[in-house]
Amino acid sequence: MADLSAFPITRRWPAEHPDRIQLYSLNTPNGVKASVMLEETGLPYEPHLVDITADQSHTPEFLSLNPNGKIPAIIDPDGPGGRPLGLFESGAILIYLADKSGRFIAADPALRYETIQWVFFQNAGIGPMFGQVGFFNKFAGKDYEDKRPLQRYVAESKRLLGVLERRLDGRDWIMGAEYSIADVSTLGWVRNLITFYEARDLVDYDSLKNVPTWLDRGLARPAVQRGLEIPKRI
């Protein structure tokens, strides 16, 4: 049985199955990257709900695993060399799980790096920009009299959707015929933009052709449907 006692986070979120990957998350667009990937790969895992609305990601226990105070984070009791590994940052987690499972990333080095670049495209562009649209369109920012911030982030989000639209022209998935971590990384954010953030009309989503069919294709995957609900706030 794996010993995870060296990780203080396990004192607040005890592991019932310490031999499984421990997932600390919430089903936000970033959080579901890890849960969808775990569902897709079939790797055994145990989810723990970290309620970011109650500031649980800034508790000492969580910060001991991720000093940046963001979900998701994982502990793999069977990490490299058979030693436990703690890991944070959703993009890093996706790459790690792809390598561990041997799935959803190409073995060919050139295709591997091409896949990783699209994961970074989501991490550096789509996530931050779509999140700002959500803040200024639905949350506290909607009350700002100055609408220039909203307009700026809407314009940039439309541009990023355009990049994705062109990439998907003639492709089922971001990397072509094969579903990959690039899709896992991006699906939840596009879904969130047009649903939870209520920005469908703002970004002219219905003027797109390739992105909506790609999103529908991704959301139809059983593992994606399961992963989008894990861990869900009770």
List, for residues 23-56, the tens digit of each pLDDT value.
999 999 999 999 999 999 999 999 999 999 999 9
Asked whether residue 3 is domain-assigned, the answer is no
190 with 153, same domain: the answer is yes
Query: Helices 181-194 and 210-219 sit at what angle, rounded to 10 degrees?
Result: 110
Q: What is the pLDDT of residue 69?
A: 98
Calculate the alpha carbon distances from 63 to 9, 12, 59, 76, 86 in Å: 8, 12, 6, 17, 12
Q: What is the average per-residue pLDDT within 5-12? A: 96
Q: What is the pLDDT of residue 1?
A: 58
CATH of the domain at 94: 3.40.30.10
Amino acid identity, position 201: D
The residue whose two tokens read 């295709």 is 111
Phi/psi at 54 (5° precision): -100, 15
Question: Is 80 exceeded by the pLDDT of residue 14?
Answer: yes
As a whole number of angstroms, the distance between CA 161 and CA 145 comes to 27
CB 1 within 8 A of CB 79: no
Q: What is the pLDDT of residue 2?
A: 80
Total domains in the chain come to 2
What is the separation of C-alpha 130 from the centre of its chain, rounded to a whole number of angstroms?
13
Widest CA span of the chain, in angstroms?
57
Query: What pLDDT band is residue 220 in, cutting at 50, 70 and 90?
Result: very high
Token pair for 32: 């579901």
Asked whether residue 231 is domain-assigned, the answer is no
205 with 133, same domain: the answer is yes
157 with 126, same domain: the answer is yes
CATH of the domain at 130: 1.20.1050.10
Model confidence pLDDT, tens digit, residues 149-192: 999 999 999 999 999 999 999 999 999 999 999 999 999 999 99
Using the 3D structure, point to which of 76, 103, 130 is the last residue of a domain: 103
**pLDDT > 70 fraction of the chain, expressed in percent and rounded:** 99
As a whole number of angstroms, the distance between CA 171 and CA 185 comes to 17
Question: Is 80 exceeded by the pLDDT of residue 232?
Answer: no
Q: What is the pLDDT of residue 146?
A: 97
45 with 146, same domain: the answer is no
18 with 99, same domain: the answer is yes
Closest to 127 (Cα-Cα) out of 198, 28, 201: 28
Asked whether residue 215 is domain-assigned, the answer is yes
73 with 143, same domain: the answer is no
82 with 179, same domain: the answer is no
Structural domain that includes position 89: 9-103
Q: What is the average per-residue pLDDT within 88-117? A: 98
78 with 13, same domain: the answer is yes
150 with 184, same domain: the answer is yes
Asked whether residue 52 is domain-assigned, the answer is yes
Q: What is the pLDDT of residue 233?
A: 75
Q: What is the pLDDT of residue 48?
A: 98
